[in-house]
Structure 1
């Protein structure tokens, strides 16, 4: 069940959560329970020490003002570009450089080893580059033919 609460920003631009019974929690952060499989479901509002002060079943159930504050906070904390297309790779042997189109623009990254490509669920793939940045392919069955061929060689 979603807790009833109010959410706003203080003078320091931190999120402040006020529960239905009037408790004020300064500097709360949203944390996704299932960031890849269900990013809009299961959001925990936590304090800096990790204590949960509210639970959100679905972001879509929230009023627009609260939802936009949470979305903005998550966007500022999370960085996981979604690969839309693999343009080319330098080699099928690792380490190799991948040139990709993402939802945040074109980029290149170095794949250190095949162990840095992990399946998440039935269709999603998580790729870690040599700097620890995670790239997501949400559905490997909907990506273009060349990209799928590259993935098949590494999986």
Structure 2
């Protein structure tokens, strides 16, 4: 099998690969570009010139240097599970995208708090701490649970579609109205609750 070694090309950002046995012999180079970067395709906002706050009507306002303020901003996580505090899209009420905040932590403290509050409202997700009963009527599961926001009863359309089991026992549940619930680690629930959940997942 032929092994290959990279050598420096005269063009910045390019790499010429040639066989090791031919390192000192002339050959036609194979030129490879730098890997594709997702961030090159995104409309990322400059954290140093971006300001977010809530106005007197409690609407989220976006101010970017050189632009008019935009009010009533909607926030959408591009990667809600794997990177909840990164790549946050800011949109108008008509769903027009204004830009993406690459990292919540990079914003100034006031803007960071305003965006964090807006995200908390948009992604209200009670954590289930106990499961009392899961019944089924007409093939529709009905959950009776306790959460960190108090007791809840909800229905889901399909256990197969609306329950997602992630790593380390984390479970995400979407009810028939689109609300989301989370079990941080169902292995840590009490014995009865855990048995009910395991029967569904």
Instruction: Give the TM-score range, shorter chain.
Output: 0.7 to 0.9
1:3/1:55 contact within 8 Å kept: no
Task: Name structure 1 gaps, 5 residues minimum.
Answer: none
Residue 42 in structure 1 maps to residue 87 in structure 2:
yes
- Give the aligned partner of residue 46 of structure 2: 3
Name segments (4+ residues, structure 1) moved above 4 Å. none
- Give the aligned partner of residue 170 of structure 2: 124
Once superposed, what is the RMSD of the aligned Cα atoms?
A: 2.9
Helix, strand or coil: the match of 1:24?
coil
What number of residue pairs does the alignment pair up?
Answer: 154
- Give the aligned partner of residue 124 of structure 2: 79
With structure 1 as the length reference, what TM-score do the two structures score? Answer: 0.76
The Cα of 1:43 is off from its aligned counterpart by: 1.0
Please give the alpha-carbon distance, in whole angstroms, between the structure 1 residues aligned to 2:62 and 2:157. Answer: 42
Q: Which has the higher helix share?
A: 2
Q: Which has the higher strand share?
A: 1
- Give the aligned partner of residue 58 of structure 1: 103
Task: Name structure 2 gaps, 5 residues minimum.
Answer: 1-43
Q: Which has the higher contact order (CA 8 A, sep 6+)?
A: 1
The Cα of 1:90 is off from its aligned counterpart by: 4.1
| Higher alpha-carbon Rg | 2
